[in-house]
Amino acid sequence: MADPTPVLRRRLDILDSPIIHCALRVTRQFPEAFYDFVVSHLDLPEPPAPDTVAHLAAHLAAQPGYDDDARRAGIDSAALFAALEPLTFAEALALVDAAEVRRAERRRL
């Protein structure tokens, strides 16, 4: 039986490619404040469920304390949700991935 490692590695590289090439702040002029706010709200002790990617705005809005956090951060929720609405799945995945990377980096410290 052949070693599956090269095939798995290649598949991960392919699946990682859309995330790497989705620079929302450049491609969509996604505001830095929105980016930081969304990533911080996805950076939870328990990672968000995979279906979070497809329903990012609903996931954020359902978080306990979301409204207060948004107000404190100076985030207009309607504007944020309007900015999230046109994102492709890959672009939303890039936000979730950024939170995953942040969580992994924190664990290493």
Quote the pLDDT of residue 19. Answer: 73
Task: Answer positive or negative: Cα dihedral of 37, 43, 44, 48.
Answer: positive
User: What number of other Cβ atoms are within 10 A of residue 63's Cβ?
Assistant: 14
CA–CA dist 109, 106 (Å, integer): 5
What is the domain count for the chain?
A: 1
pTM for the full predicted model: 0.80
Mean pLDDT, 10 residues at a time, the chain of 109 residues: 78 78 78 94 80 90 92 96 92 88 77
Give residue 33's domain range. Answer: 5-108
Task: Answer positive or negative: Cα dihedral of 29, 43, 94, 50.
Answer: negative
CA–CA dist 11, 9 (Å, integer): 5
Interhelix angle 32-42/89-108, rounded to 10 degrees, is 60
Quote the pLDDT of residue 73. Answer: 95
